[in-house]
């Protein structure tokens, strides 16, 4: 089983997405690094920029097969070859609706073009993928004759695209079964998600004998996108027991990289890579997971396997076991009656519609238990921020750090970035910002801003904190100061 990733081609055709040249090279390196067998780097004939990108990716010397897309025209193929790709992927529409309305060719003409273009590719390149575009809406007998023609002309792999995502797993199983039996060539599938069946159709094709799957990171692609790499790979690895060659423990990081570059956030409930994929809030589930993770997780797939984390979250469904576990982290050990009070307060806070952060939990615990916080590690005294259209955003802070006055200034991409960097500049510990999100609580430009952040210390511990106010820069600094103080408090507890 091999994986063919088309994030850089079909994924880049996602409406609203345009990766920069540098981002595309990064994405190609990442995909090769995680063991993707083949990377579709782009469609070189579409523009000069695309040509340069595909050439640059081919020049990286990555371990993956680098593929370029071409219409069934010699000039498109020539451009691909000039880019130095390892594989040329040629396609032609075969369904009646696409034949009649796009290329205006008869079925016989399509067969002739197929033979001609595939043998032309093979005269210049060792690897040729042939796609019958809109295969799933093409008559099966005719489709098979086109694939046979491509195989006889030297195609090294044939691709069966469900171009408009209208197929079902049952139909896919039958179709791929017939193609595998009747066409002497390895079979690959490319499924779209218009009805949400892209991944199901892809893995069913594997059941029926397909030997390669086309995917994109985060399921990017035209319209509703393509089969998602993380879901497809994990179904094959964990449920089917099929090896894909992909380093699954890097799927999460890959998803986040593409999310950052594409500007398209991953839904919290997205399988495998969503924030909630291994999160537990309800009392029953958290209790079960603390005892044995497989109680309320798939078990055959763990967060470690995909590079994610298990998280117990605080909310109105939280239970005593989760709260106790989270406090143990900070060496806080409440009695049974104290735990009850803490849980009550957490539930009360979240029913008010407020997200309960780690910092809030420790504060509640300390209040209930009547323990001091041992002094704040950092106390912000002054902060000044300058920003505008012709200045580099700059922030300077004065803070008491363990009673000692320290100052630091920093520039940033914006005022928030500059302010947070200046604060981190006075803190002795190595802290990295992992998450930052801001919401306007009421409408209007004078709305109260609420900032939620998560920071990570050098040991990989992650803590959340928040801040609010009518100035988003100050709300952000408050959240950061809260996070730092929380971290220091936990450090002190550890040392005791």
- The distance of closest approach from Cβ of residue 448 to Mn ion in the complex, given in angstroms and rounded to an integer, is 44
From candidates 10, 50, 188, 297, binder to Mn ion by CB under 5 A: 10
For residue 2 the two structure tokens come to 């091999």
Residue (197 or 380) nearer to Mn ion, CB:
197
Position closest to Mn ion via CB: 10
Which of 7-15, 73-81, 341-349, 428-436 is the region at the interface with Mn ion (rule: CB under 5 A)?
7-15
Which of 10-18, 95-103, 168-176, 401-409 is the region at the interface with Mn ion (rule: CB under 5 A)?
10-18
- The distance of closest approach from Cβ of residue 93 to Mn ion in the complex, given in angstroms and rounded to an integer, is 12
Residue (10 or 40) nearer to Mn ion, CB:
10
Residue (10 or 237) nearer to Mn ion, CB:
10
Residue (192 or 450) nearer to Mn ion, CB:
192
Beta bridge partners of 89: 69, 129
- The distance of closest approach from Cβ of residue 50 to Mn ion in the complex, given in angstroms and rounded to an integer, is 16
Which of 5-13, 15-23, 276-284, 410-418 is the region at the interface with Mn ion (rule: CB under 5 A)?
5-13
Residue (55 or 190) nearer to Mn ion, CB:
190
Q: How many residues bind Mn ion (CB under 5 A)?
A: 1
Residue (199 or 378) nearer to Mn ion, CB:
199
- The distance of closest approach from Cβ of residue 140 to Mn ion in the complex, given in angstroms and rounded to an integer, is 20
Residue (10 or 360) nearer to Mn ion, CB:
10
- The contact mask relative to Mn ion for 244-263 (x = CB under 5 A, - = no) is --------------------
Which of 9-17, 244-252, 335-343, 403-411 is the region at the interface with Mn ion (rule: CB under 5 A)?
9-17
Which of 2-10, 79-87, 202-210, 426-434 is the region at the interface with Mn ion (rule: CB under 5 A)?
2-10
- The distance of closest approach from Cβ of residue 417 to Mn ion in the complex, given in angstroms and rounded to an integer, is 37
- The distance of closest approach from Cβ of residue 80 to Mn ion in the complex, given in angstroms and rounded to an integer, is 18
Cα 38 from Cα 270, distance rounded (Å): 25
For residue 387 the two structure tokens come to 């920003």
Which of 3-11, 251-259, 466-474, 484-492 is the region at the interface with Mn ion (rule: CB under 5 A)?
3-11
Residue (92 or 385) nearer to Mn ion, CB:
92
- The distance of closest approach from Cβ of residue 7 to Mn ion in the complex, given in angstroms and rounded to an integer, is 12
* Separation of CA 420 from chain center: 25
Residue (94 or 464) nearer to Mn ion, CB:
94
- The distance of closest approach from Cβ of residue 10 to Mn ion in the complex, given in angstroms and rounded to an integer, is 4
Cα 209 from Cα 193, distance rounded (Å): 21
Residue (226 or 270) nearer to Mn ion, CB:
226
The order of strands in the sheet holding 431-440 is: 431-440, 449-457, 462-469
- The distance of closest approach from Cβ of residue 278 to Mn ion in the complex, given in angstroms and rounded to an integer, is 30
Q: Is 12 a binder of Mn ion (CB under 5 A)?
A: no
CA angle 351, 355, 356 (to 5 degrees): 90
Q: How far is CA 252 from CA 29, 230, 297, 435, in A?
A: 16, 8, 17, 15
Residue (224 or 406) nearer to Mn ion, CB:
224
- The distance of closest approach from Cβ of residue 190 to Mn ion in the complex, given in angstroms and rounded to an integer, is 6
Cα 19 from Cα 71, distance rounded (Å): 22
- The distance of closest approach from Cβ of residue 161 to Mn ion in the complex, given in angstroms and rounded to an integer, is 6
State the residues that interact with Mn ion by CB under 5 A: 10
């Amino acid at each position: 089983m091999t994986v063919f990733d088309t994030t850089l081609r079909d994924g880049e055709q996602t409406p609203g997405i345009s990766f920069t040249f540098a981002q595309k090279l990064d994405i190609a390196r990442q995909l090769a690094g995680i063991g993707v067998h083949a990377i579709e780097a782009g469609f070189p004939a579409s523009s000069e920029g695309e040509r340069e990108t595909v050439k640059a990716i081919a020049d990286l010397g990555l371990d993956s097969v680098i593929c370029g897309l071409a219409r069934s025209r010699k000039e498109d193929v020539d451009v691909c070859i000039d880019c130095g790709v390892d594989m040329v992927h040629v396609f032609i529409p075969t369904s009646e609706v696409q034949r009649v309305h796009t290329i205006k060719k008869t079925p016989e003409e399509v067969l002739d073009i197929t033979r001609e273009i595939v043998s032309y590719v093979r005269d210049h390149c060792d690897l040729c993928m042939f796609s019958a575009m809109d295969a799933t809406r093409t008559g099966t007998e005719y489709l098979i004759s086109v694939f046979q023609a491509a195989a006889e002309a030297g195609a090294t792999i044939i691709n069966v695209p469900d171009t408009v995502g209208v197929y079902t797993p049952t139909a896919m199983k039958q179709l791929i079964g017939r193609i595998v039996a009747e066409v002497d060539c390895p079979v690959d599938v490319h499924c779209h998600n218009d009805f949400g069946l892209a991944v199901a159709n892809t893995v069913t094709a594997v059941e029926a004998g397909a030997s390669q799957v086309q995917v994109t990171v985060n399921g990017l692609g035209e319209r509703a996108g393509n089969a998602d790499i993380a879901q497809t790979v994990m179904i094959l690895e964990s449920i089917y027991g099929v090896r894909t060659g992909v380093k699954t423990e890097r799927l999460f990081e890959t998803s986040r990289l593409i999310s950052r570059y594409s500007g398209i956030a991953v839904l919290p409930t997205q399988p495998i890579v969503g924030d909630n994929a291994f999160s537990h809030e309800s009392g029953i589930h958290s209790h079960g997971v603390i005892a044995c993770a497989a109680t309320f997780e798939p078990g055959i797939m763990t967060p470690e396997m995909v590079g994610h984390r298990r998280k117990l979250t605080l909310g109105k469904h939280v239970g005593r076991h989760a709260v106790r576990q989270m406090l143990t982290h900070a060496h806080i050990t409440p009695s049974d009656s104290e735990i009850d009070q803490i849980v009550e307060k957490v539930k009360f806070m979240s029913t008010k519609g407020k997200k309960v952060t780690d910092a809030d939990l420790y504060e509640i615990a300390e209040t209930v238990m009547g323990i001091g916080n041992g002094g704040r590690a950092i106390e912000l005294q002054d902060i000044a921020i300058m920003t505008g259209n012709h200045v580099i955003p700059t922030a300077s802070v004065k803070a008491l750090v363990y009673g000692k006055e320290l100052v630091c200034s920093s520039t940033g991409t914006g005022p928030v970035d500059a302010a947070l960097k200046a604060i981190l500049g006075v803190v002795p510990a190595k802290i990295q910002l992992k998450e930052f999100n801001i919401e306007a609580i009421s409408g209007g430009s004078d709305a109260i801003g609420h900032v939620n952040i998560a920071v990570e210390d050098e040991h990989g511990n992650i803590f959340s904190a928040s801040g609010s106010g009518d100035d988003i820069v100050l709300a952000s600094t408050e959240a950061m100061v809260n996070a730092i103080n929380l971290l220091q408090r936990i450090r002190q507890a550890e040392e005791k």
